[in-house]
Amino acid sequence: MNDDRKKIEELVEKLNYYSFEYYNKDNSVVSDYEYDMLMQELKALERKYPQYIMPDSPTQRVGSIIMDKFPPVTHKVKMQSLQDVFDLEDVRSFVNKINEEYDVDYVVETKIDGLSVALEYENGIFVRGATRGNGIVGEDVTNNLKTIKTIPLKLPENITITVRGEVFISKENFKKLNEEKDVYEGMGNSIWEKEFGITSDQATKVFANARNAASGSLRQVNSKITAKRNLDIYIFNIQECKDREFKTHYEGLMYLKTLGFNVNPGLYKCDNVDDIIDKINLIGEQRGDLSYEMDGAVVKVNDLKIREELGETSKVPKWAVAYKYPPEAMQTKLKDIITQVGRTGVITPMAILETIRLAGSNISKATLHNFDYIKQKDIRIGDTVVVQKAGDIIPEVIESVKEKRDGTQIEVQVPTVCPVCGSQAIHDEDEVAIRCVGIECPAQQLRSIVHFASKECMDIEGFGPSLVEQLIKEKLISNIADIYYLEFNDIVDLDRLGVKSANNLLKSIIKSKENSLDRLINAFGIRHIGKNTAKLLAQNFDTLEQLQNAGLFELASINEIGEKTAFSIIDFFANPQTIDLIDKLKKAGVNMTSKRSETLDDKFYGMTFVITGTLSKPRNDFISIIQSHGGKVSTTVSKNTTYLLAGEEAGSKLSKAKQFGVSILNEEQFNDLLK
């Protein structure tokens, strides 16, 4: 055998063993550093010899190119849902009815609240994974499932088998995910569009619960995003196995463990109905301490032959039932309501409570969602309120107990100014959020500064989140204008900088002063203004001052600038903090004049292009070419689209263009059009 191929196989076997021990047994066989070095060695060999890449290589878990849609998959075995019951007496009735005809034992399992999938293996190799869908047809999400480290890509036996499991995100990783989304809010659309094919709004939308997070992460059209979400899976059933037979469900699950599958740990064998009820109650008591979110307990007949005899209805099997726990809720006193300002400026109310013990943890604070929610529920300071954990994770106030009011309760006032910086707080008609519009608000410092310095804005190389946090902590900057007043001695001693990096950073800051006006407009982070709209504004106004002084009619008359966007621009430039900020930037020498020369001609004037598929150059290069010739670029195909520029692997946009009769260009035809 070729030595390099043999080395690749050895590395794959070794790394898969280390991963299995770490993710399935919580056992660190080697240090993170040693693992990373072996992984780098494998990647280097695979780059050199791609013909030797193995299907179970750990490098195949990192995510792949963007897909326009998921192909449908017809399940070999129907993926049924379960009959839900909400009373323990209904569980008793279910068991007693079966016991009248059969002498059987049962298995009780935790019902994980995630997304059900089927995993198919042929000769021990993972070949396909699909969502449940409607139970008969699901979606092929194989590439996304490969990013889940607890799914084996190769089994120790050459067996052909299909198993069913539940993809979920742990409570800890769910919390981290939403925290990361908050941090990444200021990164700008360009990064998300370039890396993942989505907008920053989509990327940073906070998930309401862990199930939505798991479902949304698994169904990303770009598996690179899925790879970053730290999803997990528990296997709970053998759908089909061509090479072995099993007498009981429990026997099958124990066999799956020997194959390396992450089998549902919340598993109990029970002989009688009282034991079943005891185990359901035990799971309920442990609910708050589990590392994952669950919403019930599943009771299943263990004997597989008897399952066949019991059969199924058109929707559910007759041999299983799912008991759903009621949400844990308790009453306590609402002592106060405080407001918090997020990094996007949204002002949210937070309930301060008399501490209670709920779902395994002490609760002294709870979300009130927004001020419309408070008004709708008529919640007042001093009320006795009912608190529950939304999705077993986030404490929320669900109602006030009005009959316990004694007249001392205080109605909540909607804030009109930011509690942090004193700027105006506005309530958008299109959303429930109340938002601080202050560009210098300390609560928004990190987000606004990171966005300002990002690549598609002022492109200040090296000015990332970690450096910004250091600069804010050391009180060297408090707003974006302060960037241009930094000196060498201010930054040379900062962590991970030094003389060379400090000099390079200052050069990058100085260079950014010469950027085009559209970059500056985009960098301000004005609501509803992205890169393309910023370019449109720079094409219509010669200077930033002209844009500052523009009225509603003048702005709204520009094609693609609606009334909502126009008001957002006016509100931004009317803010005293903005006026002060622009004055500081002007004094620092930042360019505020439009470089009209960037538009070469009006060859594409009045034309709208949509771009799809894989092209020879980055998509942004084609956008720049089109705009430099006076054309516009849209992200959606409509009857108003002039041309669709389609590369390889063009998907739904190509079909839509054909439907609307839009002219379709390949790259060669586009270049001909330029000539």
Q: Are residues 53 and 26 both part of a single domain?
A: yes
Say yes or no: 211 and 308 in one domain. yes
Compute the distance between CA of residue 591 and CA of residue 422 in angstroms, rounded to an integer.
29
Output the pLDDT for position 460: 93
* Predicted pLDDT of residue 30: 66
69 within some domain: no
On whether residue 592 sits in a domain, the answer given is no
246 located within any domain: yes
Same domain? 167 vs 108: yes
Residue 343 and residue 288 in one domain:
no
Tell me, what DSSP letter sits at residue 141? Answer: -
Tens of pLDDT, residues 638-670 = 888 899 999 887 777 888 888 888 999 999 999
Q: Is position 92 within any domain?
A: yes
When mean pLDDT is compared across 178-192, 249-263, 383-397, the lowest value belongs to 178-192
Choose one of 270, 293, 324: the last residue of a domain: 324
Q: With 50 as the cut, is the pLDDT of residue 597 above it?
A: no
Catalytic residue check, 111: yes
pLDDT at position 429? 63
pLDDT at residue 235, rounded to an integer: 96
Long-range contacts of 384-387 (CB under 8 A, 24+ apart): 384/331, 384/332, 384/333, 384/334, 385/331, 385/332, 385/333, 385/334, 385/351, 385/353, 386/329, 386/330, 386/331, 387/329, 387/330, 387/331, 387/332, 387/351, 387/353, 387/356, 387/358, 387/363
Is the pLDDT at 508 greater than 50? The verdict is yes
- Per-residue pLDDT, averaged over 150-160, amounts to 93
10 Å CB burial of residue 116 (0-12, 13-18, 19+) is: buried
Q: Is residue 531 part of a domain?
A: no
What pLDDT is stored for residue 253 in this prediction?
96
pLDDT in tens, 62-77: 544 444 468 888 998 9
Same domain for 94 and 225? yes
Among candidate residues 272, 290, 317, 258, the one with its CA nearest the CA of residue 108: 272
262 inside domain: yes
**Pick from 324, 346, 370: which residue ends a domain?**
324
Mean pLDDT value across residues 123-152:
91
Whether residues 377 and 359 share a domain: the answer is: yes
What does the alpha-carbon distance between residue 271 and residue 104 come to, in Å, rounded to a whole number? 7
Q: State the pLDDT confidence band at 156, using cuts at 50, 70 and 90.
A: very high
Binned at pLDDT 50, 70 and 90, residue 186 comes out as: very low
Tell whether 355 and 263 lie within a shared domain.
no
| The predicted structure's pLDDT at residue 86 | 84
Q: In angstroms, rounded to a whole number, what is the distance separating the alpha carbons of residues 363 and 396?
A: 10
- Check which CATH number belongs to the domain holding 352 and give it: 2.40.50.140
* Mean pLDDT to the nearest integer, 20-25: 59
**Contact predicate 264/107, CB 8 Å:** no
Average pLDDT of span 311-338: 88
CATH of residue 612's domain is: 3.40.50.10190
Sequence-separated (6 or more) residues with CB below 8 Å from residue 302: 104, 105, 106, 107, 248, 249, 250, 269
Q: State residue 320's pLDDT score.
A: 95
Most trustworthy range by pLDDT among 160-164, 291-295, 328-332 = 160-164
Is 21 found in the same domain as 144? no
- What's the rounded mean pLDDT across residues 518-545? 87
List pLDDT tens digits, range 98-115: 999 999 999 999 999 889
For the stretch 27-81, pLDDT in tens is 566 665 567 678 878 888 888 888 888 877 887 765 444 444 688 889 989 898 8
Same domain, 334 and 318: no
Last residue of a domain, one of 376, 404, 432: 404
CA–CA separation, 61 and 214 (whole Å): 17
The CATH number that applies at residue 10 is 1.10.287.610
State residue 192's pLDDT score: 35
Task: Identify whether residues 343 and 313 lie together within a single domain.
Answer: no
Query: What is the structure's pLDDT at 450?
Result: 86
Q: Could you tell me the pLDDT band of residue 187, with boundaries at 50, 70 and 90?
A: very low
The two tokens of residue 291 are 């590392």
Number of domains in the chain: 4
Mean of the per-residue pLDDT values of the chain: 84
Predicted confidence (pLDDT) at residue 585 exceeds the cutoff of 60? yes
What was the pLDDT predicted at 655?
Answer: 84
- pLDDT of residue 203 exceeding 70: no
| Average pLDDT over every residue of 325-354 | 86
Q: Does residue 376 contact residue 396 with C-beta atoms inside 8 Å? A: no
Tokens of 504: 């390079």
Determine, yes or no, domain membership for 127: yes
Average pLDDT over residues 139-146: 92
Question: Taking Cα atoms as reference points, which of 205, 118, 131 lies closest to residue 162?
Answer: 118
Burial of 41 (0-12, 13-18, 19+ CB in 10 A): middle
216 domain residue, yes or no:
yes
DSSP for 11-29 reads HHHHHHHHHHHHHHH---S
What 3-state DSSP class applies to 265? coil
Range of the domain at 373: 329-404
Q: Residue 296 belongs to a domain with what CATH number?
A: 3.30.470.30
In this structure, are 178 and 53 located in the same domain? no
Q: pLDDT by residue (tens digit) across 480-496?
A: 999 999 998 888 888 77
Min mean pLDDT across 73-87, 197-211, 566-580 is at 197-211
Q: Which residues contact 509 (CB under 8 A, 6 or more apart)?
A: 460, 463, 483, 484, 486
Give the strand order in the sheet containing 294-301.
84-85, 320-324, 294-301, 106-112, 267-270
Q: Tell me, yes or no, whether 241 and 362 share the same domain.
A: no
pLDDT band for 188, please (50, 70, 90 cuts).
very low
Beta-ladder partners of 131:
117
The catalytic residue among 7, 43, 97, 111 is 111
pLDDT, one tens digit per residue, over 349-377 is: 999 999 887 765 678 888 888 888 899 89
